[in-house]
């Protein structure tokens, strides 16, 4: 393993999309930002220098950060933001990890535009557990607003209402071709008979997405930097923060084939309905040849999302075994949802909130990790409820207990204890699924279902043999998802819905994992350049 150095200069740049130019925060002038390349077990050192007026932090989404929580990145959870003119060096190892991940800003809504891919190749001399493709391609999916993104959420918070949806979805930063402003969309150039490893990263802000290529099947081989049993599909379902790596075989002779990226939301509320399009273009295809089209899954294609999720299995080979905890120390039930609370300062007297077990999480002004490490009291309380405070019943109509309390509450875990969390979607005002992300760990997705979780019968059906391992999982509309992990990483670890608007509304909490007793079981000391608030 080697140490790789990167420099992230955070600078403003003008970018033109959907017929309008705006000045945005970028890393090294790029949108999407630069890709980090490394191999398993390498050490990464990234010096981030903030040359813009806004506060910045960077999160390495899915990197375990074993004992190095200081480099995890979420503002006010593990660090103070990097202010104008300041810099901070993130230093972490990719121990036992290989595959595709993403990095993104983790303060306010900055990740909408500040994000990029992380590619972790296997160790030198170790092959992929699938036939080596002829070429690799990174595909970053995103969303674009014509207006300033922070203004979008600030206005929504003042009104107490959902924010405006984006003006376009993007593939590698490009919306589909727009005839009026002579922009071209993304093109993937292929040669007939060759294979392509597509490393698909969703950096979308508030939408889960479908990804499809006309007349081609995709073979899924990895999600969230863990290998899966290969399976073929014509549609990928991917939530914000998730990654999916698929093999595309260029099995047509020639021509152009549409790439379609369209949103999923299991509801009828009005939305943008934007589909980003690109093209797979075979070599020696005539310029005027028409693009072969494909059908796009409807916005409410829940069966497509379910069958994709159900097909995901861990590879579970000798080299990549499954280690799902079989006995559980902490059995948690997290009811997650969106509701409405009274709000004196809001225009309508009420505002939309989101909560876990009726607690809407409030970010502190001292980072939780610092408070934990130095024993600073008064920053958080340790009473985050492990089960809902009130009984609730999802039967298709809104439950009654939608009032929430505000708090900065954490849940404490002993080092190396085993944890099961059942996330219960409650579908309070809009039926939406929640791509839920846990920092500091991978977890196994052992079960999922519709309606209320049944603690007696559902666990009997858990997959403890080859459950998929990930860092972000979709909790289905009006249903539940169960995960298991071992708390083998001391520190403070954020858990939140990766639909950024839900995070803003309070759908977040944190775990504190105590130090263990062994020599390599404590948080490392903070780096000397750790930003101050």
Q: Which stretch binds ligand C2O (CB under 6 A): 140-148, 205-213, 300-308, 493-501?
A: 493-501
470 binds ligand C2O (CB under 6 A): no
Distance CA 40, CA 1 (A): 7
77-136 positions binding ligand C2O, by CB under 6 A: 104, 106
Question: Which residues are paired to 509 by β-bridges?
Answer: 495
CB of 439 to ligand C2O, least distance (A): 6
372 binds ligand C2O (CB under 6 A): no
- Chain-centroid distance of CA 18 in Å reads 25
Query: Out of 59, 64, 313, 372, which residue is the one contacting ligand C2O (CB under 6 A)?
Result: 59
239-258 positions binding ligand C2O, by CB under 6 A: 241
CB of 62 to ligand C2O, least distance (A): 8
Is the Cβ–Cβ distance between 349 and 392 less than 8 Å? no
Give per-residue burial for 272-292: e unless 16+ CB within 10 Å, then b: eebbbbbbbbbeebeeeeebb
CA distances from 504 to 23, 71, 206, 371 (A): 24, 22, 11, 22
Using CB atoms, what's the residue nearest to ligand C2O?
61
Q: Which stretch binds ligand C2O (CB under 6 A): 178-186, 295-303, 317-325, 494-502?
A: 494-502
Residue span 212-241 as binding mask against ligand C2O, x where in contact by CB under 6 A, dash where not: -----------------------------x
CB of 485 to ligand C2O, least distance (A): 16
* Residue closest to 447 by CA, chosen among 427, 426, 465: 465
Distance CA 428, CA 397 (A): 8
496 binds ligand C2O (CB under 6 A): yes
141/258 with CB nearer ligand C2O: 141
Is the Cβ–Cβ distance between 458 and 391 less than 8 Å? no
Distance CA 400, CA 470 (A): 33
Sheet holding 405-407, edge to edge: 405-407, 359-361, 350-356, 330-342, 418-425, 479-486, 443-450, 469-470
104/281 with CB nearer ligand C2O: 104
413-452 positions binding ligand C2O, by CB under 6 A: 437, 439
Query: Out of 411, 494, 505, 511, which residue is the one contacting ligand C2O (CB under 6 A)?
Result: 494
CB of 74 to ligand C2O, least distance (A): 5
Distance CA 450, CA 405 (A): 27
313 binds ligand C2O (CB under 6 A): no
434/498 with CB nearer ligand C2O: 498
Residue that the structure tokens 């408070």 belong to:
371
Query: Out of 32, 69, 74, 479, which residue is the one contacting ligand C2O (CB under 6 A)?
Result: 74
72/409 with CB nearer ligand C2O: 72
In degrees and rounded to multiples of 5, residue 159 shows phi and psi of -75, -20
Measured from the Cβ of residue 425, the count of other Cβ atoms closer than 10 Å reads 25
201/468 with CB nearer ligand C2O: 201
Q: Which residues bind ligand C2O (CB under 6 A)?
A: 59, 61, 74, 104, 106, 241, 437, 439, 494, 496, 498
């Amino acid at each position: 393993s080697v140490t790789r150095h990167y420099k992230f200069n955070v600078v403003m740049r003008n970018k033109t999309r959907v017929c309008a130019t705006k000045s945005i925060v970028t890393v090294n002038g790029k949108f999407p930002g630069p890709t980090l390349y490394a191999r398993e077990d390498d050490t990464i050192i990234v010096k981030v220098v903030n040359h813009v007026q806004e506060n910045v932090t960077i999160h390495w989404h899915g990197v375990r950060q074993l004992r190095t929580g200081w480099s995890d990145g979420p503002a006010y959870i593990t660090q103070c933001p990097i202010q104008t003119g300041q810099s901070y060096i993130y230093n972490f190892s990719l121990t036992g990890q290989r595959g595709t991940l993403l990095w993104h800003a983790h303060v306010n809504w900055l990740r909408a535009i500040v994000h990029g891919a992380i590619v972790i190749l296997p160790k030198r001399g170790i092959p992929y557990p699938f036939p080596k493709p002829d070429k690799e391609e990174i595909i970053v999916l995103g969303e674009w607003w014509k207006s300033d993104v922070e203004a979008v959420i600030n206005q929504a918070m003042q009104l107490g209402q959902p924010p405006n949806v984006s003006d376009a979805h993007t593939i590698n930063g490009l919306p589909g071709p727009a005839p009026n402003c002579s922009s071209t969309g993304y093109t993937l150039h292929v040669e007939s008979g060759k294979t392509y490893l597509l490393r698909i990263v969703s950096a979308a802000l508030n939408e889960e997405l479908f990804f499809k290529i006309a007349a081609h099947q995709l073979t899924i081989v990895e999600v969230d930097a863990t290998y899966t049993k290969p399976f073929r599909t014509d549609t990928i379902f991917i939530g914000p923060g998730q990654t999916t790596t698929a093999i595309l075989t260029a099995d047509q002779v020639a021509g152009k084939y549409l790439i379609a990226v369209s949103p999923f939301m299991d509801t009828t509320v009005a939305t943008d309905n934007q589909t980003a399009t690109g093209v797979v273009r075979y070599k020696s295809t005539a310029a005027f040849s028409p693009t072969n089209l494909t059908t796009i899954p409807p916005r409410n294609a829940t069966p497509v999302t379910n069958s994709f999720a159900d097909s995901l299995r861990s590879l579970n080979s000798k080299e990549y075994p499954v280690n799902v905890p079989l006995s559980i120390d902490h059995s948690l039930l997290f009811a997650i949802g969106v509701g409405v609370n009274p709000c004196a300062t809001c225009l309508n007297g009420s505002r939309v909130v989101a909560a876990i077990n009726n607690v809407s999480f409030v970010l502190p002004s001292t980072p939780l990790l610092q408070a934990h490490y130095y024993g600073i009291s008064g920053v958080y309380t340790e009473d985050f409820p492990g089960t809902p405070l009130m009984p609730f019943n999802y039967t298709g109509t809104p439950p009654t207990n939608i009032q929430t309390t505000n708090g900065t509450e954490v849940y404490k875990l002993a080092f190396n204890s085993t944890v099961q969390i059942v996330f219960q979607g409650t579908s309070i005002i809009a039926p939406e699924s929640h791509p839920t992300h846990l920092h500091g760990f991978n977890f196994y997705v052992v079960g999922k279902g519709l309606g209320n979780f049944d603690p007696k019968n559902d666990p009997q059906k858990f997959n403890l043999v080859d459950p998929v391992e990930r860092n972000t999982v979709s909790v289905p509309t009006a249903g539940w998802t169960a995960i298991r992990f071992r708390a083998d990483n001391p520190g403070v670890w954020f858990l939140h819905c990766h639909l950024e608007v839900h995070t803003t509304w309070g759908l977040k909490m944190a775990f504190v994992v105590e130090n263990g007793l062994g020599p390599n079981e404590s948080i490392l000391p903070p780096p000397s350049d750790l930003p101050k608030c």
